[in-house]
Amino acid sequence: MAIRVPQVGASWQYQLDGEIDVSVDAEVFDIDVEETSADVVAELHRRGRYVIGYLDAGAVERYRSDFGEFPTDVVGKKVESWSDERWLDIRRLDVLLPIMGRRMDLAVAKGFDAIEADMVEAYTEKTGFRLTAADQLTYNRALARLAHERGLAIGLKNDLEQVPDLVGDFDFAINEQCFEYDESDALLPFIRAGKPVFHVEYDLPLDRFAEQARSVGFSSIRKHVDLDARRWAWLH
């Protein structure tokens, strides 16, 4: 099953809130799997767009339709700054992989091209579980296998410390605020491997990161942290 991946430097739109604005001039859209209809995905494809589906893989949001499928013993502490979201015990592959597989099946049914698996650096956070870097690698690689078995590409979200170990398993990277935190070099293995890096800044003005982002081939935008349809600035 052939897996399509966008080219390095492709323009992108990141929208996880509000009605999807399909008219945005971007080659790649990253939108929510559960909250986006198959009709919207089909319209984006009609316009020649590549469509990534957002899903939370290392934590769970209480408002998701499948929240009740997560046993209480795999649900940990609240994610800082997100009161409706709780960390998951990623060691419990027996519980989590079937749920994540069903989420990916929904993405396939709706026609998505790829998956953004969020919250996949749990071992660096206060989750309520004793998670290790090895636990994270095992889980992230399992997610990549689930996606590829379904013909979906998959992006590594943040988890910069493990990029050297995971660049071969993932098809692209998605990053928040690497220039604000001076972490952009950690993403270069993806570019060297011919895999795109989709990057967003929330606070830095475009002129503070545009030249560097363009020089290394990142697909960079600046947006409000609410991630509605607005793109304040983007690289051409």
**CA 222 to chain CA mean position, Å:** 16
Indicate left, alpha or beta for 158 from its phi (over 0: left) and psi (-120 to 50: alpha): left
Contact assessment for residue 47 and residue 22, using Cβ atoms and an 8 Å cutoff: yes
Alpha-carbon separation of residue 142 from 149, 166, 213, 220, 222 (angstroms): 11, 11, 30, 28, 31
pLDDT along the chain (236 residues), means of 10: 92 97 97 99 99 98 97 97 94 99 99 98 98 99 99 97 99 97 97 98 92 95 93 71
Reported pTM: 0.96
Quote the distance between the C-alpha of residue 90 and its chain's center. 17
Residue ranges of domains in the chain, CATH in brackets = 54-170 (3.20.20.70)
The pLDDT tens digits of the residues spanning 168-217 come to 999 999 999 999 999 999 999 999 999 999 999 999 998 899 999 999 99
**Residues 6+ away with beta carbon under 8 Å from 222:** 200, 201, 202, 204, 205, 206, 231, 232, 233, 234
- Percent share of the chain, pLDDT over 70: 98
CB 157 within 8 A of CB 118: yes
Distances (CA, A) of 12 to 6, 101, 151: 10, 26, 21
